[in-house]
Chains A and B, each alone.
Chain A
Amino acid sequence: MIKKISLFVVLLVVSLSVTASAAVGALVLDGSTTVGPIAKTFAAYFTKKYGVRVTVSESGSGNGAKSLINGSCTIATMSRAMKAAEIAAARQKGVNPVASVVALDGLAMVVHPANPVRSLTKAQISGIYRGTITNWREVGGPNARIVVLQRESNSGTEESFKELVIGKGVQITGSAETQSSNGSVKSRVNSTLPAIGFLGHGFVDGSVKVIAVNGVFPTVATVKNGSYPVSRPLYFYTNGQPAGLVKQFVDLPNSAEGKRMITELGFINR
């Protein structure tokens, strides 16, 4: 019995090592959950069209940057620009991060559909997130304590939000709940009447209500012309100027098909 088992194990190991061969030009994408839908759709399209395997992980923009610096992904998808510290770390390891813009994204402020509040100013949102406004009554809503939702520190969406709305270096209130992805913010808002959160534009659906910021709703037009105040570009980061397959992939947002996929997913073309 022991002999049989050990023989089996040896055989398996041998067959594994024999059949192991280098993968043919596979692309590895890692990073933002916001860029996730675009990355996954592009990956399926790319595999279908060129027969190249593309894998996508959604572990957050910060992880995407780390993976690129460690050389463990070919393209980092990020919902914020790389920070100076990350670029310095990359340079030290001989990695030269090059950004290309995939699409534009309006960060939608969302509340439960039952919430009668239709619009908030940037100052009001900032007050809510800093903890100076704690009841919906203070911004023209019903008498209910505001449940503030934020994203984890790894999230590019969180950093963009901080930068665009409450200002860099300002602390978000300690009572804010942290959610780990756009999807979980959406389901938390949908199940919590007095909640407020922010989502990438492509994640908005009928289960939550988008409110206007400074009186402007995030739409294709307002994000494109910059009148919606909370919008940001989404990036693909590569090591060095993209070439070959990587270039073909990174250039997808410029093609007619790529543009249509981005539109259908609810993001905004540059």
Chain B
Amino acid sequence: MNIGTRKILDRSFTAVGIGSIVVMAIALMIVVVPIITNGIGAVFFTGTVEHRKMLFSEFKRGDSENLSSEVASSNRYRAKVYGMLTGFEAELETMAPEKKAEYQAKYSEVRAALQALLGPLPGDPEPMLTRFKYGQTRWEKAEEKLHDLLYESKWDNSNPEVMAKEYFVSRAIGFQGTSLVKLFPYVKDNFEEILLPEFTFYWGFITDSSVDSHFFGGIWPEIQGTFFLAIGAMLFAFPLGVVAAVYFTEYARPGFLNSMLRSANSTLAGVPSIVFGMFGLAFFINTLKVSESKSVIAGALTLAIMILPTIIRAAEEAILAVPKTYREASLSLGSTKWNTIATVILPAALPGIITGGIISLGRAAGETAPIIFTAAVSVGSAIGLADVLTSPTPALSWNIYNLASEHEAAAQIRHVQYGMVLALVSIVLMLNLSAIVLRARISKKLKG
């Protein structure tokens, strides 16, 4: 091959390499940017006076004097809205029956839209569900609800051959000639005075428990559950994994049994996580009965089995990477085999072992399938350390799935779901970063 062709090949290979890195970076941006921007919206957002009311009565947080003056000023504007409602109700009574029935239907839609926006109206019974006790707590949601109040969505069926198209009709037109027609421009013009939007930093999203299945409040039980499960899994898997790796590298004699064990370990690493989930249910809960029903301990054991092969592999590699001269030096000084392993080989291999461990910790934190049947519940309060043996827990990975698909009002609480995703991604990222830092520090210490 002449030099010219070689150069071209060389350059094109470099170009392909750079290209693939760029593609990967773009893919990462596409995934990460929406997670971060949407996730941050769960903590930083424009909150309305309803949010502050909710915080005060559900979590006893906020300045009561400030709040009552805000509520008073918002109520001054709301009172006019409510006045228009009572005025129209009186007007309804004077109408002819068929006209009254026609307006009644439209009026109940207006009332429903107002309830969604402002919370219960005067004369409504106090709702049992917390989600109906307050109006819109977030400004961007409130603007959507305002649109629902001002416009009615209709579907154009004029062409029976195709699906209908959506169009909006102003509700005000439907009330032309009645007193209620003034309500729509009034709410629109005084919208800020009614809801008092204000930039809000809701740190409670991280530390609060959820209220009324995630409609309000935060995700602390989920975060805590994730930590319990991941750390619990490490408590079992890490010591076992290191011991197994020491056996494989130092004690095992090559032979049939050894190669069986090794291939079993490799196979275990490739088993899909849902299989571990089913195994955990069948073995830990139904057979061993480590707990009566789902529990943190059953979930942690299942996760431990799942991450065990990775830890064994990482520890094995780390131990094998220790220079042979270390071992020889130690043995030549008259040290025993066990002593060599404990004082020379393991400390030298520690950075690698710990890196493997922490990366598996991140995996354990993010897995959903193994905990569906063994540990995760969709609603439950934060549990104490004393309850890990008996109680199941909510966990970020499972609750993200639950909110995305099973929750009855998934579309209304998307921000909570994004917040959970960001929290989970940050936890895994933090664990991986700490692995890097720890590794650097330990190897520095060993060198110095």
Enumerate chain A interface residues (CB-CB to B < 8 A).
1-2, 6, 9, 12-13, 15-16, 19-23, 26, 28, 30, 33, 36-37, 40-41, 43-45, 47, 53-59, 67, 70-73, 112-116, 141-144, 180-184, 186-187, 193-194, 202-203, 205-207, 257, 260-261, 264-265
How far, in angstroms, from A114 to B160 measured CA to CA in the complex? 11
**B162 contacts which chain A residues (CB < 8 A)?**
142-143
- 8 A Cβ contacts from B384-437 to A: 384-392, 402, 404-411
| Nearest 8 Cβ contacts at the A-B interface | A72-B293, A55-B380, A181-B406, A55-B377, A114-B163, A184-B405, A19-B386, A114-B164
How far, in angstroms, from A257 to B129 measured CA to CA in the complex? 10
Pick the residue among B163, B212, B388 that contacts A142 (CB under 8 A). B163
B132 within 8 A of A: yes
How far, in angstroms, from A205 to B407 measured CA to CA in the complex? 13
Indicate if the CB atoms of B163 and A194 lie closer than 8 Å.
yes
Known: A40-B378, A70-B286. 20 other contacts (CB 8 A): A2-B342, A9-B238, A15-B385, A16-B389, A21-B386, A26-B390, A26-B391, A28-B294, A33-B406, A36-B406, A44-B379, A56-B378, A56-B380, A58-B402, A59-B372, A72-B294, A73-B293, A114-B164, A184-B405, A264-B132
Indicate if the CB atoms of A55 and B379 lie closer than 8 Å.
yes
Indicate if the CB atoms of B391 and A23 lie closer than 8 Å.
yes
**A2 contacts which chain B residues (CB < 8 A)?**
342, 346-347, 350
Quick one: given A2-B342, A9-B235, A205-B409, are A40 and B390 in contact (CB under 8 Å)? Answer: no
How far, in angstroms, from A57 to B373 measured CA to CA in the complex? 9
**Residue of A37, A72, A180 contacting most chain B CB atoms (<10 Å):** A72
Quick one: given A2-B346, A257-B128, A264-B127, are A13 and B235 in contact (CB under 8 Å)? Answer: yes
Indicate if the CB atoms of B406 and A182 lie closer than 8 Å.
yes
B251 within 8 A of A: no
CB distance from B298 to the nearest CB of A (A): 10
Quick one: given A43-B379, A144-B163, A183-B407, are A260 and B128 in contact (CB under 8 Å)? Answer: yes
Quick one: given A23-B390, A37-B213, A71-B292, are A115 and B163 in contact (CB under 8 Å)? Answer: yes
**B346 contacts which chain A residues (CB < 8 A)?**
2
Indicate if the CB atoms of B388 and A36 lie closer than 8 Å.
no
How far, in angstroms, from A212 to B383 measured CA to CA in the complex? 45
Write out, one digit per residue, whether chain B residues 132-158 have a CB within 8 A of any chain A CB (1) or not (0).
100000000000000000000101010
**A142 contacts which chain B residues (CB < 8 A)?**
159-163
Quick one: given A44-B212, A114-B166, are A180 and B155 in contact (CB under 8 Å)? Answer: no
- 8 A Cβ contacts from B166-201 to A: 166
Indicate if the CB atoms of A72 and B292 lie closer than 8 Å.
yes
B165 within 8 A of A: yes
Indicate if the CB atoms of B405 and A183 lie closer than 8 Å.
yes
Quick one: given A36-B378, A37-B213, A41-B213, are A114 and B165 in contact (CB under 8 Å)? Answer: yes
How far, in angstroms, from A265 to B293 measured CA to CA in the complex? 28
Indicate if the CB atoms of B347 and A16 lie closer than 8 Å.
no
Indicate if the CB atoms of B410 and A183 lie closer than 8 Å.
yes
The contact sample of 19 A-B pairs, CB cut-off 8 A, is: A16-B388, A20-B389, A23-B387, A23-B391, A28-B294, A56-B378, A58-B378, A58-B406, A67-B293, A72-B285, A113-B164, A116-B155, A116-B164, A180-B405, A181-B405, A183-B406, A184-B406, A186-B410, A187-B405
CB-based nearest B residue for A44: B212
B442 within 8 A of A: yes
**B408 contacts which chain A residues (CB < 8 A)?**
36-37, 182-183, 202-203, 265
How far, in angstroms, from A23 to B386 measured CA to CA in the complex? 8
CB distance from B391 to the nearest CB of A (A): 6
